[in-house]
Chains A and B, each alone.
Chain A
Amino acid sequence: MAIDTSIKVLVVDDFATMRRIVKDVLKQLGFDNIVEAGDGSAALDVLKKEKVDLIVSDWNMPKMTGLELLKAVRADDNLKGIPFVMVTAEGQKDNVIEAVKVGVSNYIVKPFTPGTFGEKLEKVLG
């Protein structure tokens, strides 16, 4: 991929299994600087402490959803420029429109292949 894979990526998903799958795909694509969080609230804690270059988040999570996290990131002057990719089973039209309105950088519908994942990231980071 013609993108910088040394950047720090934050993977947010309430399912540890899904975090593992997303991390495996990211590693296959060359990313190895990866941090993770189990929901939106935990993700904000990470973002307060660490400089993150890309957020890859699930939508449907307890405590704070991916959409709420996206809104919080876009409302924060220190964080609003971070590319935000939603990786979710919620591929319905209204969900996509809602995420785009709030400022999502790209949208990956599960299940995905590494190829699809890489193409979407290239559009965001390339």
Chain B
Amino acid sequence: MDVQFINPFMAATVHVLKTIARTDVSAGKPYIKKDNIARGDVSAVIGLTGNVSGTIAVSFTEKSILAIVSSMFGEKVSDLNDEIGDAVGEIANMISGQARQALEKMGRPLQAAIPTVITGKGHRITHITSEPIIAIPFLMENDGFTIEVCFE
């Protein structure tokens, strides 16, 4: 996988959460994830196609997504309900969209499918290629979440 694919998704993640949830997040050190177990409790996966194909996933812990959605709505949200799943899908959509704008400028246009949302402790995230999965941990106040990027 070309590492040039990583930075646009990292930058998009910071921008999206700052804009929609007024939440500052910072990227930790990317690593190769060797299993398909989600690092969070609710995840969204988006398939991307173009000159290359791949998948991105964003996986939030319960604590992190409740804080983010509470900030998005301006009211305290305390349960992992359907609205939270919706929000995770939409956040993934926005990250994908922002990153793809940057990739287009780099001459790497990609199209995106509609996100799939998965919830539950220890759920699995399936990427469409068997290439190494690059996981990027993100830190926010009191907690964090993980972005996974996997391209052929």
Contacts and interface: CB of A to CB of B under 8 A. Distances in A.
Interface of A: 14-18, 20-21, 24, 60-62, 88-94, 109-113
Interface string B65-78: 00001001110000
Interface of B: 15-16, 19-20, 69, 72-74, 82-83, 86-87, 89-90, 93-94, 96-98, 100-101, 104, 109, 112, 114
Nearest to A91: B101
Contacts of B97: 88-91, 109-110
B96 to A, nearest CB: 7
22 contacts: A14-B114, A15-B87, A15-B89, A17-B72, A17-B87, A18-B86, A18-B90, A20-B83, A24-B73, A24-B74, A89-B98, A91-B97, A92-B101, A92-B109, A93-B104, A109-B97, A110-B94, A111-B15, A111-B20, A111-B94, A111-B98, A113-B19
A60 B20 contact: no
B100 A92 contact: yes
B44 to A, nearest CB: 11
A89 B111 CA distance: 11
Contact of A94 (B15, B20, B109, B112): B109
A24 B21 CA distance: 13
Contacts of A15: 86-87, 89-90, 93
Contacts of B20: 21, 110-111
A93 B100 CA distance: 10
B109 A17 contact: no
B96 A89 contact: yes
Contact of A17 (B16, B19, B83, B114): B83
A121 B114 CA distance: 27
A91 B73 CA distance: 24
A20 B72 CA distance: 10
Contact of B19 (A90, A91, A112): A112
Nearest to A93: B104
Nearest to B18: A111
Given A20-B73, A111-B19, A92 B104 contact: yes
Contact of B86 (A16, A24, A93): A16
Determine which residue in A14, A92, A94, A113 has the highest number of CB atoms from chain B within 10 A of its CB, and name it: A92
A14 to B, nearest CB: 8
Nearest to B113: A60
